[in-house]
Amino acid sequence: MRVYGTEIASRLLLGTAQYPSPAILAEAVAASGAGVLTVSLRREGGGGAAFRELVARTGCRLLPNTAGCHTVKEAVTTAQMARELFGTNWIKLEVIGHSDSLQPDVFALVEAARILAAEGFSVFPYTTEDLIVGERLLAAGCEVLMPWGAPIGSGQGLRTPSALRAMRAHFPGVPLIVDAGIGAPSQAAQAMEMGFDAVLLNTAVAKAGDPVAMARAFARAIEAGAEAHAAGLMPPRDMAVPSTPVLGLAEFG
């Protein structure tokens, strides 16, 4: 996968919040093979020097995010602070519009994306599966879209698979990353089988009984889903089709 001119070897992007300990976080990251880690500046205050050293040792690319921001001003200011703290122009842009579902405010999202792109940020927008919103984000300067699968932390998987398929078809040359709501490796594999470029998740690994084993399971599922899509999945059929040919079989009178 290539985003903003950078090759990313792994199609799994992993969050760094809610792990039982820093040691388990480090082990889970290693087991996942993730190439990108998200870090929340607003919710965790940058994590402190020890946390920043830990994530630096993983060798992963950092993707700070604006989690917890509800206005354009909050999101832009948080992104500017994150750039200073982590030394990267990459930013996962979240502008939350609904406190319960954590659904993004797509109007504020587009405005914040336009401001940040003009300031030289490489914006990864957390958005809905709406095609028009996607068009507006690309016009604002985004080169990647991150539609939600379901509300953040819900584990519901892909709630609107038909809409996500439509988005994949509508933006064939745009990197698309399913972000939020993935709760099981099978759900991540489903996203990859649809042709999405990557999956970003956090809670499903961090809150698992064994985060390290779960990280490894997600890595395998994502790889399998991507390989299946590349190989060409058989289309669903309304009727049965025999796998053994009828012509040429012997007849018994």
Q: Is the dihedral of CA 67, 70, 75, 78 positive or negative?
A: negative
Q: Which residue among 11, 42, 83, 92 is the active-site one?
A: 92
Residue among 21, 54, 61 nearest 37 (CA): 61
Cβ(25)–Cβ(46) below 8 Å: no
- Bridge partner residues of 43 (DSSP): none
The two tokens of residue 14 are: 């992993």
Beta strand spans in the chain (E): 2-3, 6-7, 12-15, 36-40, 61-65, 90-93, 122-127, 146-147, 177-179, 198-201
Q: Does 92 participate in catalysis according to the annotation?
A: yes
Residues with catalytic roles: 92
